[in-house]
Structure 1
Amino acid sequence: MNKNSIVFIGLDTHKEFFEVAHELEGRDEHVIHDGRISSAKASVIKMVRDFQSKYPQATLHFVYEAGPCGYWIYRLLTSLGHCCYVVAPSLLPKKPGERVKTDRKDAMKLAHLLKINDVPIIYVPEAEDEAVRDLSRARQTATNDLNHARLQLKGFLLRNNIRYDGTANWSAKHIRWLNELILPHPAQHIVLQEMLHTIDERMRRLARLVNELEHQVKQWRYYPVVKAIQAMRGIRFLVAASLIAELGDLRRFDTPRKLMKYLGLTPKEESSGDHRRLGKITKCGNGRARRLLIEGAHAYKHPPKVSTEIQKRQEMLSKEVIDIAWQAQLRLCRRYQRLIHRGKHRNLVVTAIAREMIAYIWAISREIAIAPIDVAKRKSRVPA
């Protein structure tokens, strides 16, 4: 074996075990199935040491599919000083007529695809970035749970023909009205009180998560980016924090068009010869970030204006960032009205505005300096 040769190792990961296969560098080498190991951390470390002892002069390159097992395998292998890649399962090439799929074949396929450099590698966030993302997703889950409980209560009142005469639902006045309701049957009154108790608990839970998210994001290395993109209309703190938590470092995209494709905001295309046909957006990539952008795009239906709230958000920001945000307002508000006057459907218009919003957000992120990760500290940290 050459001194600088590479061993390509494919891992088919599961909760209880990993299937392992490897292939050596060279045209005449074939994939070798190494069997099954436990998914325990000690077993993974032993597997790495076995490969090191078997191929002492080779470089080990590992690959596995993204899935419910998360990124702890990637962080463990990189902390041991080896290269590891995480690939998107939906983007792996598949031969026509291939109908047999087993763990053994998947591991061997991954090792071979890594060797021929035909694996769609995905971005792996740092452990701290993933923790903020988990907190952001927990807040969104709490919001969904609260909305679901409120809908259940409204459905219960509708079945009993109980109507609220006020205008603002879930205001302080509305909550007092609900607590003062007296239903004809004791069993129904118990149901009402339980629903109100559930809503109150979920409101408190949401408030705790929002407060914790605000505290954690202010200590996060991406907080300067979160603060900067709030200069744009339709991007407040929760949207900005959730968006950056989902996307991570936007500077890894060379152009904004690549970021648009990553979010699935570009239209499908079926072109041949002189015929060019565009369809709906691809909807690939991160759906949570795409939803946040589409929600923020609704704000551009109004004329350009720097409100008092936006002025407060733009305090202590650089002139370059403020100029980009104002250019975004001028262009996107004008484009929104132009598309509406052309008779385009409102959903199509909002999606088009969201697609251009991410380009301005990308431009703002390029103006912000982000503290680098301490590589030595990261490699010395082994996940528990």
Structure 2
Amino acid sequence: MKIIRVGVDLAKNVFQVHGVDRSEKVVWRKKLGRAEWLMALLKKIEPGCEIGMEACGGAHHWARELQKRGFDVKLIAPQFVKPYVKSNKNDANDAEAICEAMSRPNMRFVAVKTVEQQDLQAIHRIRAELCNQRRAKGNQIRGLCTEYGLVAPRELLHLRIAIPCWLEDLDNGLTSRFRRLLRGLWLDLLGLDLLGLDLRVKELDQDIQVAADTDPVACRLQQMRGVGPVIATAIVANVGDAKQFCNGRQMAASLGLTPRQNSSGGKTRLLGITKRGDSQLRTLLIHGARSVLRTAASKDDRLSRWVTHLAQTRHHNIAAVALMVSPGVVYEK
């Protein structure tokens, strides 16, 4: 029988496939190795067959490979597959659940990322990790020195200036033991600088700026308030073609910016935001909204008046999130 739909459970070295025909009868169920699964799939099914996978590590790569060969690939978020898992969880049941989930008429799918999107995403991931390493060492130094009454301004530049002064000041109450520890931490921070973290972050910032200047979508996104090269390229890398969403609220929901619901019996109860999707992109968007909120009081346009009033009546974090999901955010600068 002709296979019309195949669910694939991806793993590092083992791939489980589950295929059904037009009558929804299982006609192919097999576990394949990484080196052989693609060739086995090409031999068993014909172009035009629907292939479903969970949106996990490596899924976008395999989706592009299958699309090149004429297959209709659908990626599904893991939380939408879980309700269809029967009995115990294993690879075979997961593949069957994927095959079942992708057949639902109202199922939501994840758009396949292009290589360019993944390049941009890699830049953002590496940049974020480098900044976290530098920030973690600075926070460790601040936390320990605060117990001795030594406090530096928030910027890392000020901390770099303050530490040599603390080490040279013999009257600040530091013991000889802690001075040795602080000197070691200072050398650790200098070591991070010598490794070129600052230089690497600047190089990645230049790559982001080039991408933001050359990508037409990123250029249009930068016309919005609070959106610069970093946020614009992060949206391009994570969202891609926004036509996959029916409206802006659906996109906001995919980023975890809409409230959770716990409604029953006709009574609607809204909670905090869901925080689904990419946490880094959501963080960048909220920081962009906070920058708009910080300067809104000095402006007299409709958006500024609205968000300023909202910040006065509600918490400023609520106002920042509301600004991100509001249609007014598309007003030009």
TM-score normalised over the length of structure 2:
0.83
Q: Do the aligned partners of 2:12 and 2:34 also contact (CA within 8 Å) in 1?
A: yes
Correspondence for 1:260: 252
Correspondence for 1:249: 241
Q: How does 1:331-350 map to 2 (within 5 A)?
A: 331-342=302-313, 344-350=314-320
Alpha-carbon separation, structure 2, partners of 1:303 and 1:67: 40
Which shows bigger deviation, 106-115 or 74-83? 106-115
Alpha-carbon separation, structure 2, partners of 1:17 and 1:236: 42
Q: Do the aligned partners of 2:212 and 2:219 also contact (CA within 8 Å) in 1?
A: no
**In the TM superposition, what is the alpha-carbon distance from 1:47 to its structure 2 partner?**
0.9
Q: Identity over aligned residues, as a percent? A: 23
Q: Do the aligned partners of 1:246 and 1:288 also contact (CA within 8 Å) in 2?
A: no
Correspondence for 2:268: 276
Q: Is 1:7 matched up with 2:4?
A: yes
Alpha-carbon separation, structure 1, partners of 2:48 and 2:325: 42
Question: Residue 268 of structure 2: SS of its match in structure 1?
Answer: strand
Number of residues of Structure 1 aligned to a counterpart in Structure 2 = 323
Correspondence for 1:286: 278
Change in Cα spacing, 1:6 to 1:167, as seen in structure 2 (3 Å) is closer
Alpha-carbon separation, structure 2, partners of 1:251 and 1:95: 28
Q: Do the aligned partners of 1:304 and 1:330 also contact (CA within 8 Å) in 2?
A: no
**In the TM superposition, what is the alpha-carbon distance from 1:218 to its structure 2 partner?**
2.2
- Aligned to 2:80, which of 88, 91, 95? 91
Change in Cα spacing, 1:10 to 1:289, as seen in structure 2 (3 Å) is same
- Aligned to 1:170, which of 141, 156, 166? 156
Correspondence for 1:120: 108
Change in Cα spacing, 1:266 to 1:219, as seen in structure 2 (3 Å) is closer
**In the TM superposition, what is the alpha-carbon distance from 1:301 to its structure 2 partner?**
3.7
Correspondence for 2:14: 17
Which shows bigger deviation, 226-235 or 62-71? 226-235
**In the TM superposition, what is the alpha-carbon distance from 1:73 to its structure 2 partner?**
1.2
Alpha-carbon separation, structure 1, partners of 2:294 and 2:246: 30
Question: Residue 283 of structure 1: SS of its match in structure 2?
Answer: coil
Q: Deviations over 1:185-208 (max 9, x none)?
A: 474354133333244247x32442
Alpha-carbon separation, structure 1, partners of 2:277 and 2:91: 26
Q: What is the root-mean-square deviation of aligned Cα atoms in Å?
A: 3.1
Instruction: Look up the equivalent residue of 2:189 and give its one-letter code.
Output: L
Alpha-carbon separation, structure 1, partners of 2:311 and 2:38: 59
Which shows bigger deviation, 118-127 or 179-188? 179-188
**In the TM superposition, what is the alpha-carbon distance from 1:91 to its structure 2 partner?**
1.5
Question: Residue 108 of structure 2: SS of its match in structure 1?
Answer: coil
Change in Cα spacing, 1:217 to 1:167, as seen in structure 2 (3 Å) is closer
Correspondence for 2:99: 111
Question: Residue 226 of structure 1: SS of its match in structure 2?
Answer: helix
Correspondence for 1:143: 131
- Aligned to 1:81, which of 50, 70, 74? 70
**In the TM superposition, what is the alpha-carbon distance from 1:222 to its structure 2 partner?**
6.4
Q: Deviations over 1:212-266 (max 9, x none)?
A: 3433552579623323333333223223322332222334333212222222222
**In the TM superposition, what is the alpha-carbon distance from 1:87 to its structure 2 partner?**
0.9
Q: Deviations over 1:94-117 (max 9, x none)?
A: 269x54222111212322333454
Q: Is 1:360 matched up with 2:293?
A: no
**In the TM superposition, what is the alpha-carbon distance from 1:209 to its structure 2 partner?**
3.4
Q: Do the aligned partners of 1:23 and 1:32 also contact (CA within 8 Å) in 2?
A: yes
Structure of higher RCO (CA pairs closer than 8 Å, 6+ residues apart): 1
Instruction: Look up the equivalent residue of 1:178 and give its one-letter code.
Output: I
Instruction: Look up the equivalent residue of 1:125 and give its one-letter code.
Output: K
**In the TM superposition, what is the alpha-carbon distance from 1:89 to its structure 2 partner?**
1.0
Question: Residue 31 of structure 2: SS of its match in structure 1?
Answer: strand
Correspondence for 2:171: none
Question: Residue 18 of structure 1: SS of its match in structure 2?
Answer: strand
Q: Structure 2: any 5+ residue segments left out of the alignment?
A: 169-173
Which shows bigger deviation, 181-190 or 259-268? 181-190
Change in Cα spacing, 1:226 to 1:281, as seen in structure 2 (3 Å) is same
Instruction: Look up the equivalent residue of 2:310 and give its one-letter code.
Output: L
Q: How does 1:229-248 map to 2 (within 5 A)?
A: 229-248=221-240
Alpha-carbon separation, structure 1, partners of 2:183 and 2:82: 57
**In the TM superposition, what is the alpha-carbon distance from 1:273 to its structure 2 partner?**
6.4
Correspondence for 1:179: 164
Question: Residue 280 of structure 2: SS of its match in structure 1?
Answer: helix
Q: Do the aligned partners of 1:86 and 1:122 also contact (CA within 8 Å) in 2?
A: yes
Question: Residue 302 of structure 1: SS of its match in structure 2?
Answer: helix
**In the TM superposition, what is the alpha-carbon distance from 1:82 to its structure 2 partner?**
1.5
